[in-house]
Amino acid sequence: MYVMLWLAEGTWEGCVDAAAPLIPGDARVSLLYVVAEDVLDAAGAAAEGLMGRWRPRPGLTEQMAAEATASGEALVAAAAGLLGRADVGQVIRRGRVEREVVQAAEAADLLVAARDGDRSRLGPHSLGPATRFVVDHAPCAVLLVWPDEVPDIDSIPPHPEGGRRDHSAPPHGPHPPRPAHGEPLPPDRR
């Protein structure tokens, strides 16, 4: 079994803590970090555009990419130490985060990812856009973990109809029978 843990700032420790006891001892494990290309591009453009008459330094974006990569390597090394396994692979990629994660997970049997959206309540907003994309497109099984305290069940918004609904019957009663092909609709259904 090949298990890949997707690590990101702010959630990596919770991801490792949740996954560590679940990974079989004989599993191959890799830790994945992606340097976000769009963030580097925006930071480079901002540095060049906001400095007025300041002449942009050649290679500024590359320097920021090198620093971001070094930061990612330090994060992955810390995660490897927390995981407590000597045989952990370390994968650093650069590009659009969601697409790089999906491509990296192609070889994995299991991808472990942490919720990165609104972690104060249960529901779909607990996934950020990149994580939603990865969950929807991953070419392997995905274990989605809460990186910190799981919100209480009361954090689910109330049902719009105020209370529980009986799911045994359709919400608006049974559908009327369909007329046979070529038969006109009854007056009340025109």
Cβ proximity of 151 and 121 under 8 Å: yes
**What element of type H or E holds 2?**
strand 2-6
Which residues make Cβ contacts (< 8 Å) with residue 50, sequence separation at least 6?
Answer: none
Counting residues of the chain whose pLDDT is more than 90, the rounded percentage is: 48
pLDDT digits (tens, 9 = 90+) for 111-125: 999 999 888 989 888
Which residues make Cβ contacts (< 8 Å) with residue 120, sequence separation at least 6?
Answer: 151, 155
Domain spans of the chain?
Answer: 2-160
- Rg for the chain, CA atoms, rounded: 24
Would you state the structure tokens that stand for residue 142, as one six-digit string?
């995905």
> What gap in Å lies between CA 124 and CA 70, rounded to an integer?
32
pTM of the model: 0.74
pLDDT digits (tens, 9 = 90+) for 132-180: 999 999 999 999 999 988 999 998 878 777 655 555 555 565 666 666 7
Order the strands of the 2-6 sheet from edge to edge: 88-95, 28-36, 2-6, 110-114, 141-145
Mean pLDDT in residue range 13-32? 93
Fold (topology level) of 2-160: Rossmann fold (3.40.50)
